[in-house]
A and B are shown apart, each in its own frame.
Chain A
């Protein structure tokens, strides 16, 4: 395909902004426009469930890029401008004011929407979801000292939100049907250590599903599966995952299945359309990597794909999650492991034969960086040495 002169990016999260950054870094000098449904400069999402809820960070503190970046990089930001339609055949976008703008390449960075609780009463306004700046602002007003907060879902967002609510002095109950959440992702040892922290910090932890939400004037009640007693609270927060925002792609006739299906260079089934971030799923992979670094790397890969340049292998995926003053990090894919080797109580490796395919740890920043390199370089390892905390992982690399 000929090189583009007019690129439209739909969405304004990290994947979208990273795409623009990478396009300019690669020397693309044509038009570049970001269409953001929300108002204001694009912001980073990880702080929403941490410093923003805590009141430590304002909007200016969490901007993905400062205002001058848009001028310097000649990225036109059209905020408050939802895209209603992708016109794949003629190369254009339909906007809410009825206008159509032309683009010879379109990047879909539409992200996801938090899944509402799929139960009766799950759509009550007292049930908060957390994805956007507005969501965080609304929730922050509810997290007052002494407020009773029920958090449904103890994965990443739920656990982080519960920890912040507790730090703010709320009476927090954390409910999840899985006894040790994240065990499949980080292994039993690390997941257990993480989950136990909640109770140690004064959060009531209940292993149960929620079957119904009932509003009683100012209170909101969560009825649990198999429990007679119900949880009475002032606020419920649901953190049970996201649904990829694929509507535009579906209506444009793109190949969609648990996300917009993409190949190398983030190419969708349409030659002039790419997809990045939470909404995209790499063909042949069962899961979407809904994480910060994955979004950033998608943007880099999309830029290379758009400019018809080779896309390098990106190595093992990585994510982090902060709760109770500790940092969980994980690299690689624990699902690919044949066995799990623990290195003390706070780190675990997933092994496949002599190779490390995954690692997870709490507050082991350097060890995780070493583990990532062990995975990416395909280093053959001795499980006994990995398990020995006195062995410097840097030495395993050499």
Chain B
């Protein structure tokens, strides 16, 4: 993985590097954010959320990604990939969503910017 920073966006991967149903964990050292950020690929759309589940100490990038949601590997709490809102117990708090953009053949992460899913161009 090669990352580079332009403006406020961080290039985290080339398009196609993150397979459908997979996620990339971008460490806090790279994002400058207080948590690692997971960048998810769900059916051609990319999303980014804080990586740590709001319920337990688990990495959402290891979760199950499907239908616009990620299911935590530890206790099966589900979060909306777009908003970070919890969809079921045991989570009751949202995880923060971040903006992802796809352009110039790459996936760009904007830590701290409000989230919205970004469709792949290719």
Residue ranges of A at the interface with B (Cβ–Cβ < 8 Å): 18, 21-22, 65, 69, 292-293, 296, 299-300, 318, 365-366, 369-370, 373, 394
B21 within 8 A of A: yes
Q: Is the CB of B89 within 8 A of A69?
A: no
Q: Which residue of A lies closest to B73 (CB)?
A: A365
Complex A-B: 7 CB contacts under 8 Å? A18-B90, A22-B89, A292-B75, A293-B76, A296-B89, A365-B73, A369-B71
Q: Is the CB of A394 within 8 A of B89?
A: no
Q: Is the CB of A318 within 8 A of B76?
A: yes
Docked Cα-Cα span, A21 to B89, in Å, equals 9
Q: Is the CB of B64 within 8 A of A21?
A: no
Contacts of B90 in A (CB 8 A): 18, 296
- Hey, what's the 0/1 contact readout for B41-71 against A, CB within 8 Å counting as 1? 0000000000000000000001010100001
Q: Which residue of B lies closest to A370 (CB)?
A: B64
Minimum Cβ distance to chain A for residue B10 (Å): 26
The prevalent SS among residues of B at the interface is loop
Docked Cα-Cα span, A18 to B92, in Å, equals 11
Q: Is the CB of B21 within 8 A of A300?
A: no
The prevalent SS among residues of A at the interface is helix
Q: Is the CB of A300 within 8 A of B62?
A: no
Q: Is the CB of A69 within 8 A of B92?
A: yes
Minimum Cβ distance to chain A for residue B53 (Å): 13
Q: Is the CB of B76 within 8 A of A21?
A: no
Which residues of B from 78 to 108 have beta carbons under 8 Å from A?
Answer: 89-90, 92
Using known A-B contacts A318-B76, A365-B62, A394-B21, determine if residue A300 contacts B71 with beta carbons closer than 8 Å: no
Using known A-B contacts A293-B76, A318-B76, A394-B21, determine if residue A366 contacts B89 with beta carbons closer than 8 Å: no
Residue ranges of B at the interface with A (Cβ–Cβ < 8 Å): 21, 62, 64, 66, 71, 73, 75-76, 89-90, 92
Q: Is the CB of B92 within 8 A of A369?
A: no
Minimum Cβ distance to chain A for residue B15 (Å): 21
Minimum Cβ distance to chain B for residue A299 (Å): 8
Contacts of A369 in B (CB 8 A): 64, 71, 73, 76
User: Given A65-B92, A293-B75, A300-B89, 8 other A-B contacts at CB below 8 A?
Assistant: A18-B89, A21-B92, A318-B76, A366-B64, A369-B71, A369-B73, A370-B64, A373-B66
Q: Which residue of A lies closest to B88 (CB)?
A: A300
Q: Which residue of A lies closest to B62 (CB)?
A: A365
Contacts of A293 in B (CB 8 A): 75-76
Minimum Cβ distance to chain B for residue A195 (Å): 24
Contacts of A299 in B (CB 8 A): 89
Docked Cα-Cα span, A366 to B62, in Å, equals 8
Docked Cα-Cα span, A318 to B76, in Å, equals 10
Contacts of A18 in B (CB 8 A): 89-90
Contacts of A69 in B (CB 8 A): 92
Minimum Cβ distance to chain B for residue A306 (Å): 16
Contacts of A292 in B (CB 8 A): 75
Minimum Cβ distance to chain A for residue B24 (Å): 15
Contacts of A365 in B (CB 8 A): 62, 73
Minimum Cβ distance to chain B for residue A19 (Å): 11
Docked Cα-Cα span, A182 to B75, in Å, equals 21
Q: Which residue of B lies closest to A292 (CB)?
A: B75
Docked Cα-Cα span, A292 to B92, in Å, equals 17
Minimum Cβ distance to chain A for residue B122 (Å): 22
Minimum Cβ distance to chain B for residue A64 (Å): 9
Minimum Cβ distance to chain A for residue B22 (Å): 10
Contacts of B62 in A (CB 8 A): 365-366
Contacts of B21 in A (CB 8 A): 394
Contacts of B92 in A (CB 8 A): 21, 65, 69
Contacts of A296 in B (CB 8 A): 89-90
Minimum Cβ distance to chain B for residue A368 (Å): 9
Contacts of B64 in A (CB 8 A): 366, 369-370
Docked Cα-Cα span, A370 to B21, in Å, equals 12
Minimum Cβ distance to chain B for residue A370 (Å): 8
Docked Cα-Cα span, A200 to B5, in Å, equals 48
Docked Cα-Cα span, A318 to B71, in Å, equals 14
